[in-house]
Amino acid sequence: MPNSPRKMLLAASTGGHLHELVRQTEYLRPSDDSLWVTFESPQADSLLRGRRVMHVPYVRPRDYVGVARAIGRVHGAIRGERFDVAVSTGSAIALAVLPVARMSRIPATYIESVCRVDGPSMTGRVLAGLHAADLRTQHASWAGRRWHAQPSVLATYARRLRPLPDRPLRVFVTLGTIEGYRFDALVDQVLRSGLAGPETTWQLGFTDRDDLPGRVHGHLAPEEFARIALEADVVVTHAGVGTLLGMLELGIHPLLVVRRASRGEHVDDHQEQIADLVRELRVADAVEIDDLDAGTMVEAARWEIVDRVDEPALAGRAA
């Protein structure tokens, strides 16, 4: 790792990719004049407050026309400016930034998402084929000649038991901000559980519904999101890295539900890998849609998260 801060070009799609890159700065040590490239969103505004930011138009997964548009924006923005290194955690935005950086003689590094447990994503494979970046994985199990090991963003978290409240559980359901993909199956299962009621809060993103008890939101400001999550007894969410990291940083042990491409809920089934990973690390509960019920929600509510970096004395108390 660098001994002193370096001026970096840092690129990530909003959601889990951006959250991972922000958390990786502990190891990367970017200087204050580094430039962040991402999409405009409340999450980006919150995570990158006080940093130099350039917004590019939203690029959906595997949207190569959108990648081409972003390339022009990035090339024009960095022309004439000197950077020590360019770093991205994906997804498609990495294809717009890292090849441009290499062509501009800026050393480029791609850090594959922690959710890619078994091997690289499509973005990672494309960058490897183009020889457009040095390649890093957060899983030593598949590191090798081309892919070098990088510290995991999940490495310091652990869970510990907490008492359940002696009242009905307050439930927070949050489906993330991914555009174009609904998750009605999760909403329907929460309704079937019998735990949803007037005290339930829903943050639905693209999954608009008008048949739900409690308070319903499309999107929430980051501060409001954090307040509601902390007041809830259990947070039920999709198995997205961004939401997962946000919950862990708040000390919340979430219940993750896997989106499936076969139901039109995501571009592929990589959330299955996230589910397997959190089960192994024991930092969240993760289920397939048919296993989401009152029992799994109550079980998730029995735990909280500690960060062994911030609170080392608590590490030995984690289950």
Angle between helices 241-249 and 271-281 (to 10 degrees): 30
Question: Quick check: 284 pLDDT over 90?
Answer: yes
242 neighbors 249 (Cβ within 8 angstroms): no
Across the beta sheet with 255-257, the strand order is 215-217, 201-203, 171-174, 234-238, 255-257, 285-287
249's CB contacts (< 8 A; 6+ apart) are 307
Q: Where are the beta strands (DSSP E) in 70-208?
A: 85-90, 108-111, 134-137, 147-149, 157-161, 171-174, 201-203
Comparing 54-63, 221-230, 258-267, the range with the smallest average pLDDT is 54-63
d(CA 54, CA 70): 11
Average pLDDT over residues 214-218: 96
pLDDT for res 79? 87
Q: What is the mean pLDDT of the chain?
A: 92
Computed on alpha carbons and rounded to an integer, the radius of gyration of the chain in Å comes to 20
Per-residue confidence at 310, pLDDT binned at 50, 70, 90?
Answer: low
63 falls in which pLDDT band (50, 70, 90)? confident
Q: Indicate the pTM of the whole model.
A: 0.77
Distance CA 177, CA 219 (A): 8
What is the pLDDT at residue 309? 61
Q: How confident is the model at residue 97 (pLDDT cuts 50, 70, 90)?
A: very high
Res 126 pLDDT > 90: yes
Q: Which of 1-10, 97-106, 262-271, 276-285 has the lowest mean pLDDT?
A: 1-10
* pLDDT greater than 80 at residue 1: no
Cβ partners under 8 Å of residue 58, min gap 6: 39, 66, 179
pLDDT at 313 (0 to 100): 36
Higher pLDDT, 106 or 319: 106
**Residue keyed to tokens 């997205």:** 240
Is the pLDDT assigned to residue 19 strictly greater than 50? yes
In the predicted model, is pLDDT for residue 128 greater than 90? yes
Cis peptide before 91 (omega within 30 of 0): yes
% pLDDT > 70, the chain: 96
pLDDT exceeds 60 at position 6: yes
Give the residue, 262 or 26, on which the prediction is more confident.
262
pLDDT at 2: 56
Question: What digits encode the pLDDT tens for the residues 228-273?
Answer: 999 999 999 999 888 999 999 999 999 999 999 999 999 889 899 9
Q: What is the pLDDT of residue 62?
A: 76
**Is residue 316's pLDDT more than 60?**
no
Query: Please, are residues 307 and 248 in contact by the beta-carbon 8 Å criterion?
Result: yes
pLDDT in tens, 147-206: 999 999 998 899 999 999 999 999 999 998 788 899 999 999 999 999 999 999 999 999
